[in-house]
Amino acid sequence: MNSEQVTAKILEVIKDKFNNDLNLEENNIQLLEAGLNLDSLQILELVMYLEDELSILIPDDELDPEIFTDIQSLASFLSNKLVLV
């Protein structure tokens, strides 16, 4: 799965689970504070949904807050995880 596909999957999960009005053309949406304003529980839910969707496991010690700055940083992190699988 390439980076664009991972980004599309993230947008799909966010739209389905957190925000039905999300514009799927936007891929630089901030996940915290000024953007979608996801709280810590929602971030954990997002991680669980993505782990299921992408069939990967993300150890808790790898969940650095910088990963969740925006969709692009999350997609980059997940793309790297998928390469290692």
Domains, the chain:
3-84 (1.10.1200.10)
Cβ atoms < 10 Å from Cβ of 14: 23
Structure-token pair, residue 23: 């514009």
What band does 73 get if pLDDT is binned at 50, 70 and 90?
very high
Rounded CA-CA distance 11/27 in Å is 8
Phi and psi of 70, rounded to 5°? -155, 175
Phi and psi of 10, rounded to 5°? -60, -50
pTM: 0.84
| pLDDT in the model for residue 52 | 94
pLDDT (tens digit per residue) in 28-72: 778 887 678 888 899 999 999 999 999 999 998 998 888 988 889
Angle CA 35–41–46, to nearest 5: 70
